[in-house]
A and B are shown apart, each in its own frame.
Chain A
Amino acid sequence: MIVGTGVTKTYKQRGGVLGGRDVPALRGVDFAVPKGGAVSFIGESGCGKTTLGRIIAGLETYDSGDIVIDGVSMSGLSHRRRQPYFRRIQLIHQDPYSALNPTRTVHQTLQAPLALRARQTDRSRSWTDERAEELLSLVGLDPGYVLPRYPHQLSGGMRQRVVIARALTMDPEVLVADEAVSMIDVSLRLGILSLLKDLRLRLGVGVLFITHDIATARYIGDDSELYVLYRGQVVERGNTETVIADPVHPYTQSLLSAIPVLHGLERPGPERVVPTEALDEAQADGGCLFARRCPFATERCVSEMPVLGRPGEGGQRHACFHPQRRSVIPVGAGRHAGAGG
């Protein structure tokens, strides 16, 4: 169980002689990843989702707030003491091409962390070879084929599976998948997504899924929770299916409206929302962060900042003064994909 409360992070933008501008990446984010649960963070680039993932994986520090892993507060620990906790949270990179060392075979890649793990758990060295084969089978690869090969000899999907196998060497509690399928061929994406889902259901490995493509978030489990981030703030949060089917925050609605409609297979949602302006990071704070792009903004939105409230009727929480359910997602056109002539 990982619980974050009020996690903030501000980057100093390097500026001229007069010093830089502060760029807030996270503005007090609360989250919880239950044991063996699934949580998705969605939003545009620059919304802080990647920063949050890296902080949770221990690859970056946070400025204030706290992260509690299995009841232990990370804020009170030194960098060295935090390491064993964060090692149980493994990051799956977006780019399976740079995540594997091109000069090392898959066998070598898995061997190093397994040897470390063998030392930690008092196992014999010969266990590592068995475990490597076991892990590769687990992620759906043929060990005999993959082990002696270099990354360039594998397809993108196979590499991503190797990356997942490598993360599993540490027997992690949570996998943080940062855009883990965006660079994989379309026909293979679902394979990786259902692998993550299966790992969760079979082995109880929690999944923290970070993506800009909301549709993929549905495929890691119907019990998953969705967080919609906008400029470092959670603006809507709830069960994934609920938030996608019945979004109440205009930003969530804009994101969902932007997803292309497969014309012929589905029809666009009747109430699609289009933001009035492009994202501008430099825009002044104060008031709702989305107010300037929001087609429904009122005077109150400009002067006052909404906070994430209690769960509403649909069960989700939102940070909006004028929540309104709108049907924005495409609806089926009544024809089935597979029906060929």
Chain B
Amino acid sequence: MTVIINPEGVADPQASPARTTRATLRRNFWRGVWRVLRRKPSRMAGVVIIVLFALMGIAGPLLYPDNLPRDDNALYAPPSLAHPFGTDFEGTDVLALVVTGARYVLLTGLATAAITVAVGTAIGLFAGFRRGRWDTVLMRLTDMNLAIPGLPLLLVLSTVWKFEGPLEMGLVLGLLGWGGIARAVRSQTLSLRERGFIEAARGLGLPTRHIIGRELLPGMAPYIAMNMLIAVTGAVYAQVGLFFLGVLPFESNNWGVMLNLAVFNGGALTTPAALPYLLAPLLAILLLTLGIVLIVDAMDEIFNPRLREE
């Protein structure tokens, strides 16, 4: 049975071992990711920014005592060596506030992104793959989700629910925001399912689970990853906005709370004293968004084997 007919593939002396285990595939993948990221300096800058924020979120609160020290002698102090971004109305270091506030903001962002992507992808994939009645029902559901006015609903919700932790906050934002991804994933699925390899998989009798999870999903990975990263920035804006408006009670330290206090208590828009207090959280948001945008650029290459391996 092992007769070779018209050999076309030339033996390559440096060919890798025939059996590609999962572990080697995964190692190759991460090597590829590293290669892609190094291709442009801007991507590395993005990585550095994101790593910085991640560290801030994980270790930030550990760097400072639970109750940040106040200095009654230096209310709204201007930037100095001791206080690079000045102090707030209580004389607390603004940098310390930004650093300790990062965890809440980032956790909410991640939770929101995870939920929007999980729900949106699942619904989009299922609707696009099954088509027919499922598609109709799920897409009407998606339309409803898209039609929900987020801000008014949040205002109403906040009267009955206090959004105590960042994860709850993320849950609510996530459940409000999956519609766009669901629609996008559905249209991608509809076009991918017509490709030859999906039909071949069906012809081979491979289970639907395999077709959706292993054949369809990887092709959409760059798309989903991009959406996820952009969802993080969206979530950060949304919650910071909510806190800024004062819709939500100030339970913990948060960039939105800082903005609110700077503008409404410190009068940062009229007097220069509270300006650093206002600008510091804004700068943090700006940097975070920049970092994400710089990395999004690499997603296509990371998840497309051809672009990755080159």
Task: Render B260-290 as a binary contact track against A, CB cut-off 8 A, 1 for contact.
Answer: 0000000000000000000000000000000
B4 interface residue, CB < 8 Å from A? Answer: yes
Decide yes or no: A105 and B196 within 8 Å by CB, A152-B305, A188-B8 being known contacts. no
B151 interface residue, CB < 8 Å from A? Answer: no
Chain B residue at smallest Cβ distance from A114 = B204
Stretch at the interface among B36-44, B48-56, B106-114, B210-218: B210-218
Interchain nearest-CB distance for B150 vs A (Å): 34
Interchain nearest-CB distance for A341 vs B (Å): 29
User: For B309, what are the chain A residues with a Cβ–Cβ distance below 8 Å?
Assistant: 150, 153
In the complex, the answer to whether A195 meets B6 with C-beta atoms within 8 Å is yes
In the complex, the answer to whether B204 meets A116 with C-beta atoms within 8 Å is yes
Chain B interface bracket (under 10, 10 to 19, 20 to 34, 35 or more): 35 or more
Stretch at the interface among B16-24, B81-89, B291-299: B16-24
**Which residues of chain B (1-35) have a CB below 8 Å from chain A?**
1-12, 15-20, 25
Among candidates A83, A100, A188, A191, residue contacting B197 with C-beta atoms closer than 8 Å: A100
Most chain B Cβ neighbours within 10 Å, of A148, A150, A158: A148
In the complex, the answer to whether A194 meets B10 with C-beta atoms within 8 Å is no
A325 interface residue, CB < 8 Å from B? Answer: no
In the complex, the answer to whether B204 meets A142 with C-beta atoms within 8 Å is no
A234 interface residue, CB < 8 Å from B? Answer: no
Interface size (A, Cβ < 8 Å)? 58
B147 interface residue, CB < 8 Å from A? Answer: no
In the complex, the answer to whether B203 meets A58 with C-beta atoms within 8 Å is yes
A263 interface residue, CB < 8 Å from B? Answer: no
In the complex, the answer to whether A158 meets B16 with C-beta atoms within 8 Å is no
Among candidates A90, A107, A144, residue contacting B15 with C-beta atoms closer than 8 Å: A144
Chain A residue at smallest Cβ distance from B1 = A134
Among candidates A102, A108, A150, A167, residue contacting B219 with C-beta atoms closer than 8 Å: A102
In the complex, the answer to whether B305 meets A129 with C-beta atoms within 8 Å is no
User: For A188, what are the chain B residues with a Cβ–Cβ distance below 8 Å?
Assistant: 8
Task: Render A148-187 as a binary contact track against B, CB cut-off 8 A, 1 for contact.
Answer: 1010111101100101001101100000000000000000
In the complex, the answer to whether A116 meets B5 with C-beta atoms within 8 Å is no
In the complex, the answer to whether B11 meets A163 with C-beta atoms within 8 Å is no
User: For A150, what are the chain B residues with a Cβ–Cβ distance below 8 Å?
Assistant: 305-306, 309
User: For A143, what are the chain B residues with a Cβ–Cβ distance below 8 Å?
Assistant: 18
Task: Render A119-160 as a binary contact track against B, CB cut-off 8 A, 1 for contact.
Answer: 000000000010001100111111111111010111101100
Chain B residue at smallest Cβ distance from A84 = B205
Interchain nearest-CB distance for A112 vs B (Å): 6
In the complex, the answer to whether A137 meets B4 with C-beta atoms within 8 Å is yes
Give 7 nearest A-B pairs by CB, closest first: A99-B196, A103-B218, A98-B196, A142-B9, A152-B306, A141-B9, A101-B197
